[in-house]
Amino acid sequence: MKKQLLTLAILAAATGAMAQSNDTLAKIKSSGSITQGVRESSGALAYTLGNGVYTGFHYEVCANIIKDLRRQLGLSSLEIKYQPVTSANRIPLVKNGTVDLECGSTTNDRSRQKEVAFANTLYVEEVRIAVKANSPIKSIADLGGKTVATTTGTTSVQLIRQNKRASGLEFKEVTGKDHADSFLLLESGRADAFVMDGQILAGNISKSKAPKDFKILPDVLSVEPIAIMIRKDDPAFKKAVDDSIAAQVKSGEIAKLYDKWFMQPIPPTNTPVGLPASAATKAAWASLNDKPKEDYPQQ
* Predicted TM-score (pTM) of this structure: 0.80
For position 297, what pLDDT does the model report? 80
What is 134-167 written as a DSSP string?
T-S--SGGGGTT-EEEEETT--HHHHHHH-GGGT
- Please write the tens of the pLDDT for every residue from 244-276: 999 999 999 999 999 999 999 999 888 888 889
Domain boundaries, the chain: 27-124+224-295, 126-223
- Per-residue pLDDT, 255: 98
Q: Cα angle vertex 15, ends 14, 17, to 5°? A: 65
* pLDDT average, residue stretch 76-83: 97
Q: Which pLDDT tens digit goes with each residue over 270-280?
A: 888 888 998 89
Task: Please check the confidence at residue 9 and state whether its pLDDT lies above 70.
Answer: no
Q: What is the pLDDT of residues 181-221, one digit of tens each?
A: 899 999 999 999 999 888 889 888 887 889 899 999 998 88
Pick the CATH number of 27-124+224-295 from 3.50.50.60, 3.40.50.1380, 3.80.10.10, 3.40.190.10: 3.40.190.10
> Fold identical between 27-124+224-295 and 126-223?
yes
Question: How would CATH label the architecture of 126-223?
Answer: 3-Layer(aba) Sandwich (3.40)
